[in-house]
Amino acid sequence: MVNETTAQETAWAIASALPDPEIPALTIAELGILRSVELMEGVITVSITPTYSGCPATEMIKGDIETALRDAGFSAVAVRLIHSPAWTTDTLSAATLEKLRAEGIAPPHRGQAPHCPLCGSSAVEQIAAFGSTPCKSLWRCITCREPFDHFKCH
Amino acid sequence: MSAICEVPGGNIAVAETPMLRWVLAYADDALILGHRLSEWCSRAPSMEEDMALANLGLDLLGQARFLYSHAATLENAAQPALERSEDDYAYRRDAPQFRNALLVEQPNGDFAATMVRHMLYASFADLYWRASLAVSDPAIAAFAARSEKEIAYHERHAADWVIRLGDGTAESRRRAQSALDGLLAFADELFETEADQLPLMAAGAIIDPARLRDAYRHRIEQICARATLSLAWPRWHQSGGRQGRHGEHLGHLLAELQFLPRAYPGASW
Amino acid sequence: MYAQALDQTDTRPAQGDDPARLAAFQARIDAEQKIEPNHWMPEAYRRTLIRQIAQHAHSEIIGMQPEGNWITRAPSLRRKVALLAKVQDECGHGLYLYAAAETLGVSRAALVDQLLAGTAKYSSIFNYPTLSWADIGAIGWLVDGAAIMNQIPLCRCSYGPYARAMIRVCKEESFHQRQGYEIICSLAGGTPEQRAMAQDALNRWWWPCLMMFGPPDTESQHSDQSTRWKIKRFSNDELRQTFIDATVPQAHRLGLTLPDPDLHLDQATGHWRYGAIDWAEFRAVLRGEGPCNRDRLARRNAAHAEGEWVREAASAYAAKQNQRKAA
C-alpha cells in the first residue's frame, strides 16, 4: 500500500462496487448499506448498516466485502455492523431510484402510492403488504395489468 | 464469577448482572415470539398472511440477534475467555435460564389467539422501544429506534386483525373474545420492575416499563372498543417468566429450537 | 423456485383464430417482441401459459412446506433467519406468479381451487421429504440450482409478464442457491457426522433433481409448438446436461460423491455422462405416489379450510365498513 489515503480510497472503490445480493442491479453503496471505509491501526475497517433487523443478506454482504478486499491484497480486514443512524430509504439518490424502476421495482416515495414501473400509470392496486422480500410490497397495474414489486419507504 | 464449570456444548452459565438480565429478558421475548410466529409457516389463513407472519417473525428474530450479540459483548468484556456468541444464549440455556415474559411463550392457538397475543406484545414493545430512544448507550438507543419503526407496523397489523375479527362474523368475534379473555392475564408481567435494575433505570441506562402501563392500557382499550370486544382487566396477573419460572409450553419449544446443537455438541453450522 | 418441465403444450385446435391475426402474432414472436396482456393471442397459447405459470406458482407455494419443516429447528440464529426469509420469498414468488397468470384472464382463486382439489400439477421434487438439516442445503444448492437452469431461458419467454417475473425471480433464486451451497460447504467441512449428513442428502436428492428437467427429449410431447411460441428455448435433456456439468465439479470440490456409478467425464465433449434415470419413479410421483404427495396437499387444504373463518371475517368486516361509509 502506497499510503493510508490511497489504501482507504482503493478499499472504498472495491467495497462500494459490490452488488447487493438480493437486488444485484444496485451496489451496496447505492443502497446506503456501506457507511464508511477507514484504515485503523493497519486494519481496513468497513462499516455497514443492516437495512432492517431480520435482513438475511447482511452476513453475505459482510463475507463478500472480506473476500473482495482480501483478493485485492488487503490482509487485515474488519467488517463491523453499525446501527446508528438507522438505515432509511430517504437517502437513496435519484439515480438509484431510477435504477430500481428500470429493474421493474417501483421506487419508494414518501407519502406517495407507487406508479407502475412498466407503463407509468398511477392506477395501481396493492395485492399484498409484503413482497418476496420484506423490504417490498406486491402491487398490480390496472392499466397494463403488470404485477410489480414496490420498494417500501423505511 | 462463573464458578460453575461449563461442559463443552452443554448449558452455559451466564453471570447475570442486572444489565445482562435486562438484555436477555428482551432478547428472549423477541426470540420466543419470533419462533412462535415462524411455526405458522405454510399454515396461515391466506398466502398474504403467510408472508406477513413470516415478516413479523423475521423482525423479531433480527431484534433478538442484536440483543444477544450485545449480551455477548457484555459478558466477553468481563471475561474474554468465555468467547460468547449470540447462539450460545439461544441454544445453550435451558428453560429456567430464559427470561422471557410468559405471554410470548403461549402457544399459537388459532389465528385470533396469535393476533391478540401479538397485539398485547407489540403495543407494549412499541411504547417501550420508543421510550428507549432516550437511554444513555447510543448503541441501544439506535437499536430502539430501528425496533420501534418495525414494531409500530406489528402493532398496526395485529390491531387491524383484532378489529376485523372482533367486528367480523359471530364466529370470529367469539374466537377473538375468547383469546382476549384467556391472554389478558399475561399482559401485566410486561410492566414488572425488577428491583436490582432500579439503579440502571435511575441512571437512564434502561427504561422502567412500569411507567408505560397506563398508556398501554389506554391503547389496548381503544383497540378493543373498535373491535367491539369487551375488556375487563383481571385483578391478578400471571408472573414468573422474568425469573425463569415458565409454563409447560416453553420446554417443548426449546426442545425443538435447540435440537441440532444439543444433538451435535460442538459442531458449527 | 421450481419451474419444472412437465407441462404439455395445449394443442387443441383453436376455433375462430383468424389466420391473418395468427400470422401477425407469430411474426411478432419471431421478431423477438414480447406479447403483452392487452395483445391478441391464440387461445392455445393463452391456455398453455396459464397452465405453465400456474404450475410454477403452485410449486412455489407447495415448496414452502419441505423447507418450512426445518425453520423451527434451524441450528443457528443466522440460519433460522435466512431460512424463514427464503420461505417467505417463495410465497412471494408464488403470489407474484399467480398475479402474472391473472394477466391472462384467469383468477387466482380458480387456480388455487385446482391445486387444492389435486387436479393441478406442481414440481415433483416437493413430494420428497426433508429428513435432516443437510436437506435444506441440498434444496438450495441442487433444487434451486436446477430451477435456475430451467428458468434462465424463461427470462426470454415471449410472454412479457412471465419473462419479466422470471428475470426478477432468477436474481432472488441465485441468492438462495448461494445460501444452500454455503450450508452444504459448512457440513462438508464439518464433523464426520455432518459430512455423512451432507452425503446422505446428496444421495437422496440427486436423482429427483435430475427429474426436475422433465422426461427425456425422446418422450417429451409437443415441445415443437412451445419452441415456435418461444415459451421453451432449450430441450429437457440440454438443460439437464448443463445442470450436471455445472454441479458434478462442485460436489467433487466438496469431497462428496454422486450416487451414480455410471457417471464419467466424456473427454471428447467435456460433458459428464450419467446413468439411466428411473422414469418409472418420476411418473409414480406425478401420479401421487411419492412419499409426501398426500401430506403436502393435506397441509394446503387444512390451511385453507382452517383459514376460512378468518377470510369470512375479513370480508364481513369490509362489507360493514362499506355500509358505514355509505350511510
Residue C223 has pLDDT above 70, yes or no: no
Any C CB within 8 A of B265 CB: no
Residue B2 has pLDDT above 50, yes or no: no
In-domain check, residue A55: yes
Q: Domain of residue A22: give its range.
A: 4-81
User: Does the distance separating the beta carbons of A53 and B146 come in below 8 Å?
Assistant: yes
Average pLDDT over residues B164-190: 98
Same domain, A14 and A59: yes
In-domain check, residue A65: yes
- Residue appearing with cell numbers 411507567: B211
Question: pLDDT averaged over chain C?
Answer: 92
Backbone angles phi, psi at B182, to 5 degrees: -75, -30
More confident residue, B36 or C224: B36
| Inter-CA distances, B8 with A14, A109, B86, B265, Å | 40, 51, 16, 7
More confident residue, B166 or B15: B166
Question: pLDDT tens for residues C153-167?
Answer: 999 999 999 999 999
CATH homologous superfamily of B18-263 equals Ferritin, core subunit, four-helix bundle (1.20.1260.10)
How does DSSP classify residue A86?
A: P
Question: pLDDT tens for residues A61-116?
Answer: 999 999 999 999 998 999 998 887 778 888 889 999 999 999 889 998 887 889 99
Any A CB within 8 A of B132 CB: no
In-domain check, residue A131: yes
**Pick among A145, A148, A149, A150 to test the C interface (most C CBs inside 10 A):** A145
Between B18-38 and B248-257, two packed helices, what is the crossing angle to 10 degrees?
80
Residue B233 has pLDDT above 50, yes or no: yes
Same domain, A63 and A119: no
Surface-to-core class of residue B52, CB atoms within 10 Å of its CB (0-12 exposed, 13-18 middle, 19+ buried): buried
Average pLDDT over residues C17-37: 92
Any B CB within 8 A of C313 CB: yes
In chain B, residues with a C-beta closer than 8 Å to the C-beta of A128 are 47-48, 51-52
How many domains are contained in chain A? 2
The structural domains of chain B, with segments of one domain joined by +, span 18-263
In-domain check, residue A86: no
B:152-191 residues touching chain C, CB 8 A cutoff = 163-165, 167-169, 171-172, 175
Same domain, A66 and A126: no
Chain-centre distance for alpha carbon C144 = 8
In chain C, residues with a C-beta closer than 8 Å to the C-beta of A134 are 85, 88
Same domain, A51 and A20: yes
The predicted pLDDT at position B1 comes to: 45
Question: pLDDT averaged over chain A?
Answer: 88
Taking alpha carbons only, the member of A51, C294, C310, C184 closest to residue B40 is C310
How far, in Å, CA of B252 to CA of C245, rounded? 45
How far, in Å, CA of C100 to CA of C94, rounded? 10
The predicted pLDDT at position A33 comes to: 92
Any C CB within 8 A of B67 CB: no
Domain with A54 in it: what CATH number?
A: 3.30.300.130
The predicted pLDDT at position B102 comes to: 98
In-domain check, residue A132: yes
What one-letter code names the amino acid at B195?
A: A
In chain B, residues with a C-beta closer than 8 Å to the C-beta of C190 are 267-269
More confident residue, C64 or C2: C64
User: Does the distance separating the beta carbons of C99 and A23 come in below 8 Å?
Assistant: no
User: Which of the listed residues A56, A81, A106 is the one where a domain comes to its end?
Assistant: A81
Average pLDDT over residues C248-253: 97
The predicted pLDDT at position A1 comes to: 46
CB atoms within 10 A of CB B198: 12
As a dihedral over the C-alpha atoms of residue A141, residue A146, residue A147, residue A148, rounded to 10 degrees, the angle is -80
User: Does the distance separating the beta carbons of C178 and A21 come in below 8 Å?
Assistant: yes
Against chain C, the chains showing at least 3 CB pairs within 8 Å are: A, B
Q: Say if strands A34-40 and A136-141 run parallel, antiparallel, or are unpaired.
A: unpaired
Same domain, A75 and A107: no
Question: pLDDT averaged over chain B?
Answer: 95
User: Grid coordinates in use for A107?
Assistant: 421506487
Question: pLDDT tens for residues B70-85?
Answer: 999 999 999 999 999 9
Same domain, A12 and A77: yes
In-domain check, residue A39: yes
How does DSSP classify residue C266?
A: E
B:95-114 residues touching chain C, CB 8 A cutoff = 110-111
Residue B3 has pLDDT above 60, yes or no: no
The predicted pLDDT at position A4 comes to: 72
In chain C, residues with a C-beta closer than 8 Å to the C-beta of A121 are none
Residue of C nearest to B261 (CA): C75
Same domain, A111 and A72: no
Taking alpha carbons only, the member of C167, C140, C163, C136 closest to residue C52 is C163
The predicted pLDDT at position A83 comes to: 80
Average pLDDT over residues B128-154: 94
Same domain, A25 and A76: yes
Q: What percent of chain B has pLDDT over 90?
A: 93
C82, C160, C167: residue with CB nearest A56: C82
The predicted pLDDT at position C15 comes to: 62
Indicate the pLDDT class of residue C12, thresholds 50, 70 and 90. low
Any C CB within 8 A of A127 CB: yes
In-domain check, residue A103: yes
User: Grid coordinates in use for C210?
Assistant: 435430475
Any B CB within 8 A of A110 CB: no
The predicted pLDDT at position C222 comes to: 56
In-domain check, residue A26: yes
Same domain, A77 and A12: yes
In chain B, residues with a C-beta closer than 8 Å to the C-beta of A131 are 51
Backbone angles phi, psi at B237, to 5 degrees: -145, 155
How does DSSP classify residue C285?
A: I
Residue C1 has pLDDT above 50, yes or no: no
Question: pLDDT tens for residues C98-116?
Answer: 999 999 999 999 999 999 9
How far, in Å, CA of C310 to CA of B111, rounded? 8
Any C CB within 8 A of A42 CB: no
| CB–CB contacts below 8 A, A to C | 82
Residue A28 has pLDDT above 90, yes or no: yes
Q: What percent of chain C has pLDDT over 70?
A: 94
